Amino acid sequence: MIAEKSNTERNIEGASLDTEKPLIRHTKEKGRKLLAIAPPNPEVRDKAVRRRFTAEYKLRILTLADSCTDKGSMGTLLRREGLYASNLNTWRHQRELGVLSSLTPKKRGRKESGRDPLIAENEKLRRENERITKRLKQAEIIIDVQKKVSQLLGIQLATPEEEGND
């Protein structure tokens, strides 16, 4: 059986972190025992959560902000929505770049590479061209060596014009 806690213990427990167990109180109502659980401390969150705003929400807030003409109405809007002036500046800049395209949420992380088939074919042809160029240089070197050897040995080589006349 859980003993009733004193007021000082309740005050200390109410100021504790959200990670601890919430305060449990036993009450009696018309002869029944009820279990009442106190809400967690609203000032301390378990884990911070990044806020995400939809494109429709951003556009709605921007139209409301643009219509604020009275003194202090912009601050009232920002406080009511829990926003900062920098949010409005960023969203206005996004709206200038392209209304819906920049306001739609972007996928986070590494972008998919939609490789163009022409790029792959271009790379293949470039490698083939390099390979053929190397073989051509090698063949030219071999032909030059053959010419020099034939000159040293005094052997007359046939030229392409002479081969066609035979």
pLDDT in tens, 142-156: 999 999 998 888 888
Taking the mean position of all CA atoms in its chain, how far away is CA 84? 23
Number of compact structural domains in the chain:
2
Check whether residue 9 and residue 30 sit in a common domain: yes
Kindly state whether residue 110 falls inside one of the protein's structural domains: no
**Mean pLDDT, rounded, for 112-137:** 91
**pLDDT confidence of residue 96:** 84
Nearest 10 degrees: Cα torsion 8, 14, 16, 20:
110
Average pLDDT over the chain reads 76
Kindly state whether residue 131 falls inside one of the protein's structural domains: no
Instruction: Give the residues across from 131 on adjacent strands.
Output: none
State residue 58 phi and psi, 5-degree precision.
-60, -45
Find the domain containing 33 and state its range.
Answer: 1-46
Check whether residue 2 and residue 38 sit in a common domain: yes
**pLDDT confidence of residue 117:** 83
SS3 content of the chain, % helix, strand, coil (to 5): 55, 5, 40
Q: Which of 69, 88, 103 is the last residue of a domain?
A: 103
Q: Which residue has the higher pLDDT, 163 or 71?
A: 71
**Spatial distance between the Cα atoms of 75 and 165, rounded to a whole number of angstroms:** 98
Kindly state whether residue 111 falls inside one of the protein's structural domains: no
Kindly state whether residue 19 falls inside one of the protein's structural domains: yes
Check whether residue 65 and residue 30 sit in a common domain: no
Check whether residue 60 and residue 20 sit in a common domain: no
Residue 126 has pLDDT above 90, yes or no: yes
**Would you give the DSSP letter of residue 141?**
H
Kindly state whether residue 149 falls inside one of the protein's structural domains: no
Kindly state whether residue 62 falls inside one of the protein's structural domains: yes
Percent of the chain at pLDDT above 90? 31
**Mean pLDDT, rounded, for 34-59:** 75
Q: CA angle 24-30-33, nearest 5°?
A: 30
Residue 99 has pLDDT above 70, yes or no: no
Count other C-beta atoms under 10 Å from residue 159's C-beta. Answer: 8
pLDDT band at 67; cut points 50, 70, 90: very high
- The pTM of this model reads 0.37
